Amino acid sequence: MAKAGTSLTCGQSICVDAVPWYCWYRLLFMYSSTIVSSPGRRVFSRDEVAVQEAAPLSMPRLHRDTLYYRHRLPVRLMHWINVLCLIVLFMSGLSIFNAHPALYWGDSSYSGRPAILQITSVDIDSAPKGVVRIGGYQIDTTGVLGVSTGRDGTPSRYAFPSWMTLPGYYSLAYARQWHFFFAWLFVFNGVAFLAYSIWSGHLVRDLAPGKQELRGIGESVKDHLRFRHPHGEAAKHYNVLQKLAYLTVIFILLPLIALMGMAMSPMLDSAITGWVDWFGGRQSARTIHFIIAWLLVAFVLIHVFEVVVSGLWNHLRSMITGYYDTGPEPASGARREIT
């Protein structure tokens, strides 16, 4: 029987009365020292084996056979760049919207036609009230939209409150600087992701749904509504709803929102004339840009919700270290566990 701290040979094990503190430390950060021989395969060092053998029964053991190398480094890096860009772009975009909180359809906002959507404030009995007008309907949104409480405790007459905007005070100039810088970073990161996905086979291997998967859309919807999530081999792959959602975002929403952002630029409009009219004009492009931004927010909220209900730490770890615990393979004919 080997003593703690000595090297192990094949077939030896460890038995100690107490686990040193550094064993707990090593267990917590063991993924950073992982040896990866190939995607989908996990190789443990001797020290990691020794730590797990020495751990008491109360310490959760890692499922060596169920750890799967799910996300490669470039995918993880570009994912977190996207997270940063989306947060900054959304908050700075709301700050820019505050400069003219109304949406129109057409080339100009001076056509005389009423706004499709307007967030404003009105004075009722000498008190400011926030309202949202959608077509011919008006909704009181005091305290949230139109009128909110500012940092100094006084009413703030902006469409979106300061805590939702970047910067946290009204400045169109600074908001545009934040927005344009991270917009180009977002575009370059998106192009890099697409190029890497094609080159590495990630696009075809992991994102393109097959015919059999498309036939199972209804079953996948039922599983999501019942909070049933795959385990074992099935957990190594995106389900069909994930694939369709990612493809829609990557190839429709993101290119379109970037194009609509460019359509609002007078310089690009004058350099290449006529193309903005294909979308109805500059104000139409602004409206489409605004709608897609909120569709992306909805996608992110659903994405985060699914991450939480299907295993927050497992998903977070996989997007940091690359490793995802697929869990034990369900028994033949057994229903999948609800997580």
Domains of the chain (ranges; CATH) run 21-62 (no CATH), 71-98+170-339 (1.20.950.20), 105-164 (no CATH)
pTM here is 0.76
| Cβ-proximal residues to 235 (8 Å cutoff; 6+ apart), any chain | 68, 229, 324, 326, 327
Q: State yes or no: pLDDT of 222 exceeds 60.
A: yes
For residue 20, the Cα-to-chain-centroid distance in whole angstroms is 39
Q: State yes or no: pLDDT of 221 exceeds 70.
A: yes
**pLDDT score of 330:** 63
**pLDDT score of 63:** 55
Please return the burial class of 155, using the count of CB atoms within 10 Å of its CB with bins 0-12, 13-18 and 19+. Answer: middle
Q: What length is written for the chain? A: 339
**Stretch 34-44: mean pLDDT, rounded?**
40
Q: State yes or no: pLDDT of 191 exceeds 80.
A: yes
**Stretch 43-63: mean pLDDT, rounded?**
44
Q: Report DSSP letters for 271-337, one per residue.
A: HSTTGGGGGT-HHHHHHHHHHHHHHHHHHHHHHHHHHHHTTHHHHHHHHHTSEEE--PPPPTTPPPP
Q: Helix, strand, or coil here: 82?
A: helix
**Stretch 242-263: mean pLDDT, rounded?**
95
Q: State yes or no: pLDDT of 244 exceeds 90.
A: yes
Dihedral of CA atoms 106, 132, 157, 297 in degrees, nearest 10, equals: -80
Q: State yes or no: pLDDT of 147 exceeds 50.
A: yes
**pLDDT score of 127:** 87
Report yes or no: 220 and 336 within 8 Å, Cβ to Cβ: no
**pLDDT score of 246:** 95
**pLDDT score of 268:** 83
Amino acid 39 reads P
Buried b (16+ CB within 10 A) or exposed e, 118-145: bbbbeeeeeeebbbbbeeeeeeebbeeb
**pLDDT score of 270:** 80
Confidence band for 48, pLDDT divided at 50, 70 and 90: very low
223 is written with which tokens?
């599983």
**Stretch 229-234: mean pLDDT, rounded?**
77
What is the residue whose two structure tokens read 């490793």?
A: 323
Q: In this structure, what DSSP letter does residue 229 have?
A: -
**pLDDT score of 34:** 39
